[in-house]
Chains A and B, each alone.
Chain A
């Protein structure tokens, strides 16, 4: 996988990919690989360069420097049509004046494909996406979920060598999104091609992707499985971006300790602190009851409010919050870099 040569690797490779517009660097020296059949999520806040990266791969924007290779050959300068990529847009970009059927078939028709073949492909993909009944409808007459399926179908029917998705779930309601995640994952996996999935939603990235690339200001922060990013973040940004409720940060001189809410324990104020543990005393400000868990917000004077995740609510209002010292993540206060010596909280 570390081999960057033209031979061997069959998936998508980015080498030092950059895009600059004026003084702005939208994507900065991005290098990564996506294997065939693998789903890679590009995760980050808005403006982090994830959509820009997708547009570079699709060929919608010109590359400033670097190389994009697909199946061993460079596609950096090819026009979008010749890259064999399929893209699902955030807005779905369905052609509003055409029926579902024509939305899917127009590209093939214009490429001069035989009518019988088009019909066969159409029937197959419409059956797969359960859209047979909506064949003749216009996009305006479809529900949000149906529109998304049409957009996916339009991408699938091209039999692309690479699948790009730009926040395809962001316009669906939360319930539908949860239900669709597994379905979408199975579907994308079944194509057997590399999939790049852009999202700002950590749940989506964690639930769908094999690996996640976290971006910030156009730079790759960390690349790895959801578990690696969560348990062993490279820096404070990755640590705060993943996890819900988010990680607690407390100041220790020029250090910052990162404490996952589920790592913290509650005890009565003034309880003796066990050896190898550290503790803060505080006042309960409020509780969020989530059914299976409770988030207690504990105000600790001088340290702000800590979020503690526990299975049961603690009755007292003055509390001690404590944690095993060895399991706190340690970050450099100014740069946010992760410092060695803070061990993985879940392996200790």
Chain B
């Protein structure tokens, strides 16, 4: 019973959105009983630019931000976990400070950068600030994960004659897969949901990512609030995330390091 309540509590809002997206406008504003309709989805998919373009934009930005963040964070975390304790502690404190820095303070400066370096209206360019903002957290998470891998495993590989890249490729990265998957997912979620930078860097409507595009739907009419369209956008917007979670949940949960150390 308690489980059902908890499930209802966490799934309730999502189910409400799903429900709203399938009801005609009259029913939502309480002026009729309506029935069921796919009208909101049809509108969304046929709008200009089509909603799928928006989703695709978000996927491109999310994927490139995740890739860039991981490409930088993994070597960084490896180095931090293998440094002497004193240097590592100082550097980790710096990284933690960067993670705690309020990103809002950077918007104006970022806008200047975008203008000077002609980064505005370029989808891939968005991954620069996204990766920059996500790096500290990713580094901290991955450093902890690297530190959890027993050093003997790497030493055994060293004695086997494996070079640095071979050790990373064959021993460390496979063991890091769960940590890498979950940090990557965090970065992807961040860029999927990010609003202010996307709003200020992108102005062409065919380049909009999910968050600013949804804001446009919400502000598209002065006299009515388009509940239905908004709910449909929410449902379509969260579908890829749910898919990703389902895809990676085994990776994230798996206890891959079990049995590495006897006992």
Contacts and interface: CB of A to CB of B under 8 A. Distances in A.
Contact of A93 (B150, B257, B263): B150
B258 A96 contact: yes
B256 interface: yes
Contacts of B159: 58-60, 80-81, 85-87
Contact residues on B (Cβ < 8 Å of other chain), bracket: 20 to 34
The 7 closest A-B pairs by CB, nearest first: A140-B259, A81-B161, A107-B160, A93-B152, A96-B260, A93-B156, A171-B262
Contact of B174 (A97, A139, A141): A97
25 contacts: A58-B155, A58-B159, A80-B159, A80-B161, A81-B159, A82-B161, A87-B155, A89-B155, A91-B152, A93-B152, A94-B259, A95-B153, A95-B260, A96-B256, A96-B257, A96-B260, A97-B174, A106-B160, A107-B161, A110-B170, A138-B259, A139-B259, A141-B259, A147-B259, A147-B262
A148 B166 CA distance: 25
Most buried by B among A107, A144, A147, A148: A107
Interface string B131-168: 00000000000000000001011011111111000100
Contact residues on A (Cβ < 8 Å of other chain), bracket: 20 to 34
Contacts of B158: 60, 80-81
Most buried by A among B256, B257, B261: B261
Contacts of A58: 155, 159
Interface of A: 58-60, 80-82, 85-87, 89-97, 106-107, 110-111, 138-142, 144, 147-148, 154, 158, 171
A61 B176 CA distance: 25
A58 B155 CA distance: 10
Contacts of B162: 81, 107, 110
B171 interface: yes
B52 interface: no
A106 B170 contact: yes
Contacts of B170: 95, 106, 110
Given A85-B159, A106-B160, A110-B170, A92 B258 contact: no
A192 B150 CA distance: 31
B160 A94 contact: no
B160 A92 contact: no
A159 to B, nearest CB: 13
Contacts of A97: 174-175, 256
Nearest to B255: A140
A142 B170 CA distance: 21
Contacts of B157: 95
Nearest to B177: A97
Interface in B205-263: 256-263
A89 B156 contact: yes
Nearest to A155: B159
A220 B248 CA distance: 54
Contact of A60 (B153, B155, B174): B155
Contacts of B257: 96
A177 B157 CA distance: 27
Nearest to A85: B159
Most buried by B among A94, A97, A171: A97
A96 B175 contact: yes
A60 B156 CA distance: 10
A158 B260 contact: no
Contacts of B262: 91-92, 144, 147-148, 171
A86 B257 CA distance: 23
A4 to B, nearest CB: 27
A82 B174 CA distance: 26
B174 A89 contact: no
B169 to A, nearest CB: 9
Contacts of A86: 159
Contacts of A59: 159
Given A96-B256, A96-B259, 19 more contacts: A80-B155, A80-B158, A81-B158, A87-B156, A91-B150, A91-B152, A91-B260, A91-B261, A91-B262, A93-B155, A95-B153, A95-B156, A96-B153, A96-B257, A110-B170, A140-B258, A140-B259, A141-B259, A144-B262
A106 B174 CA distance: 14
Contacts of A92: 261-262
A157 to B, nearest CB: 10
B155 A158 contact: no
A89 B152 contact: yes
Interface in B67-110: none
Contacts of A147: 259, 262
